[in-house]
Structure 1
Amino acid sequence: MRSPSLIHQSTKIAGFGLFFALFQVAHAAPPEEIVAQIESLSSDSYLRRENATEALLKSGPAAIEPLVEVLERGDLETTQRAIGILQSMAMERPILEGESEHPKLARPNPNEPDAWETLLMLSTMGGSRGERATMAVEEITQVRRAQTIQTLSLQEAYIGVKEFVYGATSNLQRVVEITGAYQGDDSLLELLRWIDKVEFARIEGPAIRKGVLKGVTQMPDLKTLSLLYGEIDLETMKVIGDLDSIDHLEFRYVPLNDELLDAIATLPIRISLTLNGTDLSSDQVDALRQTLPGLNIEFKRGGFLGVRCNDSFNECIIQSVVEGSGAEVAGLLPNDVIIRANGEPIRKFADLQAVINTRDPGQNIRIGYRRHNVEYETDAKLGKLTEPN
């Protein structure tokens, strides 16, 4: 961490950005002076190179296009300094436009060139300019990512490693999680555009709303999105449709109807859709499957027993029992072998899941199991699938 408080650092950057913009308006250098300063970047005099660098920084966006032009013919010294100037310009901009009472002053003309966008463009090119621009982009992203994590964490958003449940699997993943505990303004979540290399996001309860979803969908590497324990309306659903694609989408204990199903049919889902405890009927889901024949749709009524088993075995051996679940209350233990569920023979964990998936939370299920080669039966009350703490 570069300083004790990245928020304080961000505030300083925003404040300097406002001062920098005001200075620009009053002291914009003429084009010929900018060109002369750029030529001085390759001077034999170190002091002259330093003065030229400082002057170009003060010129702001007006210097961006001339700097890009010189990169096409510049030597290594000029390339390093030109990229460094663009990097400094990008970092001087406030992390959020709204951090200033006069946000437009941070970029007086939205049609002017932008240093960050310019660096992104240059990073796709070859040669030393592409390499230097890539390094600058990575450094800026690291700082912005750290600022974002600290800023949003103070507002009770979670960004970090956590167990993530999707469908029937549960793994430790890097996740973004927004729940009803989130205290910030929804617009603050636009900062999530700086959270790269995180593929999983979870939105829960009252946080399932348009503003939150708009922020979460800014995540550049988002692939799996779970919406849990809340309600969704058509306008919020449309935000998902603004994505280029989403690999996996889950609705868990989120009521859906025909209108929302029609909207789901238009979403850019690539691989799988999980519908768990959504109050939908089998007929409604079958109709959706016909509309989306290439999509893997997993449909569950929402009942949850609370056992974890290895699905690769030819027996349904309990590996662990979820604390407080119906399975624990019913007396099931690790290493028990489930052999029947509501009279249906169980040979693998998938067989047990198939039976449970047809049951609602609150329903009882009769479990036959074997312990130390002795068979027993017990009744278990199904609950709801919750996220591990």
Structure 2
Amino acid sequence: MLIAQTAGRFGWSIPDAHTCAATMLLALALLSPSHAYAQSNTPPSEQEIQNWVEQLDDDRFAVREIAQQQLSRQLSSILPKLIELAESPESNASNALLQFLGFVSQDALSQQGKAAFESLNRIAAERTTQKAILAQKILESVSVEMQEQALDRLERVGILVADRHLSVLTQLKDVKNALVIDERFVGTDDDLAMLPWLFDVEFVKLEGPRVSRPMLEYVMKMPQLRSLQIIETNLQSQDLRPLIAAPDMDLIEILYSPVDDQAIEILEQVPIFGDLQLFGTEVSATGAETLVEKIETANVFVGRGGFLGITCEPSSLVIQESIPEGPASKAGIRMYDKLKKINGVPIQNFDDLRKQLAKSAAGESVLVEYDRPIMSMRPIDPDPENRNRFPGRNLRQQIDGYETRQVDVTLGKRPSNMNP
């Protein structure tokens, strides 16, 4: 795919594109460990390297093929020189050399592939030169190809990217291109190493006991990562250290994982500029206060993890949804009820509600006081003549008042999603 795309962009004829595609397959095969025996014990001279690079542009296919074979066989010893030639301002690096580095960069799991890709990125950063523009186009082609390979490989080991209905900041939200790694993951570190090729993923959810520190390290290399959820894992505080290398984050949520006050020193170094929530962790009340003081760039919230299972209007606390089979629903609280107190403490808005619930863990009970609206049918039209003419058709349901109720609710755990 890369060769065909590159052929169209750089003016190769179609036969040349197919020929070069076959050559690339040979070159990539020569890069594999099984062909290590083919490498010479004696490193080639700089003149030999220069000759092979020049021959990449030869009009004769056989000469180009031999040059690519020689470069591939000697790659481990000559790649630094090839990168130097490609990046040097004094060097008039050929298109073919940059394309060869593009071929090498598709061996994404090798150090050679990574070095070639990084070199093309440095060249592309020059932006306006002809060489930089070519490097940008090669990188685009490589990225498209590698993202397709990554998606296919990750799907085979249980990692899917899809639109999902997730619980985010205690609200249910539709999230586009969310990547989820959970108990279905059956892959290895080599599979996880493909994560940095996913350029369209901003939201990642890590859930369950399979989540590990190495997994978190690979996730931090995803270039467009902005939101991260860590849910019901066995990660300890020190396992969060990879978060320090995160890109600028809009959201980090850590739920029901055994991190404690030792995480504070790590979290204060994380580039978070939106919301940081710790829910159901082992961070103490004192630790929570310290975390709020130290992190000034984000909205920080720390709760013990009790979940009521409702969504409500933030200022009036009128319930908009009581999640089916959730704690509130099981206790008889329903839509249009208006919350008034938690454990006897008056609440005026959503922040008050959240602060009171934060004091309780999943499995603990809270006393909820709420107003239940008393409904009646009232005529829409005050004219008695019209009401008699159309009986039952000019009525609507109205609130006559409220009945104050109290109920003990056993709090649950916040669900991570609402997908089937």
State the distance in 2 between where 1:89 and 1:216 align.
Answer: 23
State the distance in 2 between where 1:202 and 1:274 align.
Answer: 14
**1:217-273 superposed Cα distances (whole Å, 9 cap, x missing partner):** 221222322221133224412222344654432221123333333443444444432
Q: Which residue of 1 is the match for residue 150 of structure 2? A: 148
State the distance in 1 between where 2:83 and 2:287 align.
Answer: 55
1:204–1:227 contact (8 Å) kept in structure 2: yes
Q: Which residue of 2 is the match for residue 319 of structure 1? A: 320
State the distance in 1 between where 2:294 and 2:226 align.
Answer: 22
Q: Which residue of 57, 71, 77 maps to 2:68?
A: 57
Q: Which residue of 2 is the match for residue 193 of structure 1? A: 196
1:117: how far off?
A: 2.2
Structure 2: gaps spanning 5 or more residues: 3-24, 376-398
Q: What are the equivalent positions in structure 2 for 1:112-131 lying under 5 Å apart?
A: 114-125=115-126, 126-131=128-133
1:137: how far off?
A: 1.0
- Quick check: 1:286 aligned with 2:286? no
316-325 or 344-353: bigger deviation: 344-353
* Matching residue's letter, 1:283: T
TM-aligned CA distance change 1:211 to 1:152, over 3 Å: same
TM-aligned CA distance change 1:120 to 1:340, over 3 Å: same
**1:100-131 superposed Cα distances (whole Å, 9 cap, x missing partner):** xxxxxx85xx9xx9432221111112223222
Q: Helix, strand or coil: the match of 2:252?
A: strand
* Matching residue's letter, 1:96: L
Q: Which residue of 2 is the match for residue 8 of structure 1? A: none
Q: Which residue of 2 is the match for residue 84 of structure 1? A: 99
Q: Which residue of 1 is the match for residue 389 of structure 2? A: none
Q: What are the equivalent positions in structure 2 for 1:22-61 lying under 5 Å apart?
A: 22-25=37-40, 31-36=46-51, 38-39=53-54, 47-48=59-60, 50-58=61-69, 59-60=71-72, 61=75
1:177: how far off?
A: 1.9
2:56–2:67 contact (8 Å) kept in structure 1: no
* Matching residue's letter, 2:31: G
Q: Which residue of 1 is the match for residue 17 of structure 2? A: none
State the distance in 2 between where 1:238 and 1:183 align.
Answer: 24
**1:154-207 superposed Cα distances (whole Å, 9 cap, x missing partner):** 222233322343323443132222223321224531221112232222222213
1:368–1:375 contact (8 Å) kept in structure 2: no
Q: What are the equivalent positions in structure 2 for 1:257-276 lying under 5 Å apart?
A: 257-276=260-279
1:338–1:346 contact (8 Å) kept in structure 2: no
Report the TM-score when normalising by structure 1: 0.77
1:365–1:382 contact (8 Å) kept in structure 2: no
TM-aligned CA distance change 1:345 to 1:234, over 3 Å: closer
* Matching residue's letter, 2:293: Q
Q: Which residue of 1 is the match for residue 385 of structure 2? A: none
State the distance in 2 between where 1:207 and 1:225 align.
Answer: 16
**1:305-354 superposed Cα distances (whole Å, 9 cap, x missing partner):** 1112343xx433333332220122133334x1414133455554444333
**RMSD over aligned Cα, in angstroms?**
3.5
1:26: how far off?
A: 7.9
- Quick check: 1:237 aligned with 2:252? no
1:187–1:211 contact (8 Å) kept in structure 2: no
1:180–1:206 contact (8 Å) kept in structure 2: yes
State the distance in 2 between where 1:385 and 1:288 align.
Answer: 22
State the distance in 1 between where 2:183 and 2:290 align.
Answer: 33
Q: Which residue of 1 is the match for residue 308 of structure 2? A: 305
2:237–2:258 contact (8 Å) kept in structure 1: no
336-345 or 200-209: bigger deviation: 336-345
State the distance in 2 between where 1:67 and 1:231 align.
Answer: 46
State the distance in 1 between where 2:141 and 2:325 align.
Answer: 46
59-68 or 221-230: bigger deviation: 59-68
The runs of at least 4 aligned residues of structure 1 exceeding 6 Å deviation read 11-14, 26-29
State the distance in 2 between where 1:310 and 1:131 align.
Answer: 52
2:28–2:104 contact (8 Å) kept in structure 1: no
* Matching residue's letter, 1:385: R
Q: What are the equivalent positions in structure 2 for 1:126-137 lying under 5 Å apart?
A: 126-137=128-139
2:292–2:301 contact (8 Å) kept in structure 1: no
- Quick check: 1:333 aligned with 2:340? no
Report the TM-score when normalising by structure 2: 0.72
* Matching residue's letter, 2:68: L
Structure 1: gaps spanning 5 or more residues: 3-10, 98-105
TM-aligned CA distance change 1:123 to 1:310, over 3 Å: farther
State the distance in 1 between where 2:241 and 2:101 align.
Answer: 36
TM-aligned CA distance change 1:34 to 1:180, over 3 Å: same
252-261 or 147-156: bigger deviation: 252-261
1:297: how far off?
A: 1.5
State the distance in 2 between where 1:292 and 1:68 align.
Answer: 41
The sequence identity of aligned pairs, in percent, is: 21
State the distance in 1 between where 2:198 and 2:288 align.
Answer: 34
TM-aligned CA distance change 1:24 to 1:293, over 3 Å: same
Structure index of larger Rg: 2
State the distance in 2 between where 1:148 and 1:233 align.
Answer: 29
2:236–2:259 contact (8 Å) kept in structure 1: no
State the distance in 1 between where 2:54 and 2:402 align.
Answer: 87
1:41: how far off?
A: 6.2
